[in-house]
Homo-oligomer: A and B are copies of this chain.
Amino acid sequence: MELLVYLAGEIHSSWRTQLKEQAQKQNLPLRFTGPMEDHQRSDHIGEEILGSQPNNVLKDEAASSINNLRTQILLSKSDVVIAYFGEQYKQWNSAMDAATAITLQKPVILIRDEKLHHPLKELANKAQLVVQTPEQALKALSYIFE
C-alpha cells in the first residue's frame, strides 16, 4: 500500500527536498506531489499560457486559475496533506489548501514553528496533527507502516 502525500505551503525553503530524501532513505512507500515551487513561474504561468493581461489583478487571476487547477487535481488524489507555514508571506493559499483537505475529510499534518501558533490556532485545532519540523511529520507517516 502506497500513500500519496500532497506537500502544501512554503515554497522558499528546501523542506520538500529533505522530506523526500529522508522518505527514500527509509524506503517508505510514499509518493509526493505539491504546488509549483518556482515562485516566478507560478506568478507568470497565467500570462505564459493565456497571453498578456490588461493589469496585475488580471495577471494574478490568470495565474491562480492554473495554479488552482493543479492543486485541485493533485489534492483530490492525495491520501494525506502536509502543510508547512513559514514566517514570510501571507500564505492564504496554504491555509486554503489545508482547509479544503480537512473539509474533504483528508487528514492534515501542520508544520509550523511555535512562534506562529497564535495566528494558526484555529487551523491547528482542525488539523489532525501539529508538529514543528518535517522530520516529525515523516515520523508520523512512517508510524502508519509499522
Contact = CB atoms under 8 A, between A and B. Distances in A.
Please tell me how many copies of the chain the complex holds: 8
Given A96-B99, A103-B99, A49 B125 contact: no
Given A54-B54, A99-B103, A143 B90 contact: no
Interface string A86-105: 00011111011111101111
A13 B80 CA distance: 30
Q: Looking at chain A's contact residues, is the secondary structure mostly helix, strand, loop, or mixed? A: helix
Interface residues of A, number: 74
Contacts of A57: 114, 117
B90 A90 contact: yes
Interface of A: 1, 3-4, 31, 33, 36, 41, 45, 48-50, 54-58, 60-61, 63-74, 76-77, 79-80, 85, 89-93, 95-100, 102-105, 107, 109, 114, 116-126, 128-131, 136, 139-140, 143-144, 146
27 contacts: A1-B4, A36-B143, A41-B146, A45-B143, A49-B139, A50-B136, A54-B55, A56-B117, A57-B114, A57-B117, A60-B121, A61-B121, A61-B124, A64-B121, A69-B109, A70-B144, A71-B122, A76-B79, A76-B105, A89-B119, A91-B119, A92-B92, A92-B119, A95-B99, A98-B99, A99-B99, A100-B103
